[in-house]
Structure 1
Amino acid sequence: MPELPEMETYRQQLTRLIIGIPITGVDVSRPKSLNVEPEEFAGKLIGNRIVRIERRAKHLLFHLATGEILLLHLMLGGWIFFGTQEEKPDRTIQIELHFGINSLFFIGLRLGFLHLHTSEVTHKLLQKLGPEPLELNFVQFRNALRPKRGNLKVTFVDQSFLSGIGNCYSDEICFEASLLPLRKVPSLSENEQLQLYQAMQVLLREAIGVGGYMEEPLFVGDRLTGQYNSQCRVYDCREEPCLRCGSSIIQTEVSSRKCFYCAHCQK
């Protein structure tokens, strides 16, 4: 599932590709991906423009010139492609937004959605999300940790704790901090909390800088999206040698989620 760095990469790249360009057409092959009828959806969008793209947690918010917001959550397996009909991937496409000769293709939205809301409704839908990790200072991070009693893995993927971190980056952050994802939050010393905070800041910024771990490019010639995929230290690296100590990376399951770590150098 795309996480904070992947959605931030999409936001940055799409901002320069589609902002201010009139939407000339809409095609919907999976109405369940919408919250309104396809005819109403198309009527609201055709002739409209996206004036700003915002990211909140794992969502993208496409702000329309008329004031409404397209709220996107890709969920598991969802991704985006921008280009011509000739360039589009040979995959099942649920929604297409046309911008002249180019289109924005929403792919793999079996669980994901693209909903049309007012700004007020959008705010209400997102208000239960925790703070953005990169907007916290250490004191705020420490205060958010204080009431938590679970392990680090479960805590980090809880979107009411911090928003935008999922399976991949929870493991990568714990590795960067040299802490086991199975450690209980109350067992952390203040110094270990600081290690965790600093690792989170460094790791997420690094992942954004190299386009996250999405494997599929956003457009033909895209050299940014997905460059973190080959740089994962532990996630999906089962039995590979640890980059720090050479021990085999362990895969286990925590609350029905895959979890990867090095038992030797993570404490």
Structure 2
Amino acid sequence: MPELPEMENYRILLSQRIIGKLITKVSVSREKSLNVSAEDFINRIQSEKIQSIERRAKYLLFYLTNGNVLLLHLMLGGWMFYGTERQKPERTVQVKLSFGDQHLFFIGLRLGYLHIFSHEAVNQELADLGPEPLDENFTNEDFLDLVKNRRGRIKTTLVNQKFLSGIGNRYSDEIAWHAQLLPERKMNELEDQESTQLFKSIRFVLELGAKNGGYMDQPLFEGDTKTGSYNDRTYVYNHEGQSCKRCGTLITKKEVSSRKTFYCKGCQT
């Protein structure tokens, strides 16, 4: 499932391509991916322009000139492609936004969705999300206040969207490895210096992931060499049985609260 770095990469790349462009046509092949009828959806979007694109947690928000907002959550298996009909991958497309002869294809939205809201309604929809970990106003002191007396494990706490927004299964393991902390450690048992290191690792790993295009397997457009580049930089995720890049110990995989988890017994404590 795409996490904060993947959606931030999409935000940056799409902003360079579709902001200010007129949506000339809307096609819907799976109405269940929407929160309104296909007819209503098309009527509220077609002939509008993309005013801006923002990311919140694992969501993308497409702000339209008429005040409506498209809220995208790709969930498991969802992705996007931008290009011509000729360039389109041979995959089933649930929704297509056309900008003349260029199109934004929403693919794999079986669990994911593209909903439409007013500004007020979309804010209410996202009201329960925790702080943005990359927000420049979110400080180490704020983080220490959040973790104080929190009894959950590092792994389960990091993926809790009401605690911090945007971190999922993959990056929680990467963060714990970078902080040299076992994912099963309890948050309220961490020393202040360990919590501070965890905060620094959250910022470092998420920024590194976004800078290198996240881990998505498919390019966003023809010639896109950035999207998915983080796959070559991962520390522990999906590296079971391989040598740790820091100490050489073989990476372990186990389930933590029903989530597959990768870590190093040698240098994570």
1:155 maps to which of 157, 163, 166: 157
Residues 197-216 of structure 1 show CA distances to partners (whole Å, capped at 9, x for unaligned) of 11111111111111111111
Equivalent residue for 2:224? 222
What's the TM-score, normalizing by structure 1? Answer: 0.99
1:202 maps to which of 201, 204, 207: 204
SS in 2 for 1:186: helix
CA-CA distance at 1:148 after TM superposition:
1.4
SS in 1 for 2:207: helix
For 2:163 and 2:42, the matched residues in 1 are separated by: 36
CA-CA distance at 1:262 after TM superposition:
0.2
Equivalent residue for 1:128? 128
CA-CA distance at 1:230 after TM superposition:
1.3
Residues 3-30 of structure 1 show CA distances to partners (whole Å, capped at 9, x for unaligned) of 0000000000000100111101111111
For 1:134 and 1:36, the matched residues in 2 are separated by: 33
For 1:58 and 1:70, the matched residues in 2 are separated by: 14
Equivalent residue for 2:167? 165
CA-CA distance at 1:127 after TM superposition:
0.5
Would you say 1:240 and 2:239 are equivalent positions?
no
SS in 2 for 1:217: coil
CA-CA distance at 1:256 after TM superposition:
1.6
The one-letter amino acid paired with 2:125 is: L
CA-CA distance at 1:147 after TM superposition:
3.4
The one-letter amino acid paired with 1:26 is: V
Equivalent residue for 1:76? 76
For 2:88 and 2:149, the matched residues in 1 are separated by: 47
Residues 135-166 of structure 1 show CA distances to partners (whole Å, capped at 9, x for unaligned) of 22100011111131010000000000000000
For 2:253 and 2:263, the matched residues in 1 are separated by: 7
Give the count of matched residue pairs: 267
SS in 1 for 2:242: coil
For 1:147 and 1:245, the matched residues in 2 are separated by: 32
For 1:3 and 1:153, the matched residues in 2 are separated by: 15
For 2:162 and 2:150, the matched residues in 1 are separated by: 11
For 2:226 and 2:16, the matched residues in 1 are separated by: 14
Query: Percent sequence identity over matched residues?
Result: 52
Would you say 1:42 and 2:48 are equivalent positions?
no
CA-CA distance at 1:45 after TM superposition:
1.1
For 1:173 and 1:65, the matched residues in 2 are separated by: 38
CA-CA distance at 1:119 after TM superposition:
0.6
Equivalent residue for 2:98? 98
In the alignment, structure 1 segments of 5+ residues that lack a partner are none
For 1:192 and 1:15, the matched residues in 2 are separated by: 37
Equivalent residue for 1:143? 145
For 2:44 and 2:163, the matched residues in 1 are separated by: 35
SS in 1 for 2:236: coil
For 1:181 and 1:250, the matched residues in 2 are separated by: 12
SS in 1 for 2:72: strand
The one-letter amino acid paired with 1:214 is: M
Runs of 4+ in 1 over 6 A off after TM superposition: none
What's the TM-score, normalizing by structure 2? Answer: 0.98
SS in 2 for 1:133: coil
For 2:38 and 2:30, the matched residues in 1 are separated by: 9
SS in 2 for 1:228: helix
Would you say 1:174 and 2:181 are equivalent positions?
no
CA-CA distance at 1:189 after TM superposition:
0.3
The one-letter amino acid paired with 2:37 is: E
CA-CA distance at 1:63 after TM superposition:
0.2
SS in 1 for 2:2: coil
The one-letter amino acid paired with 2:223 is: G
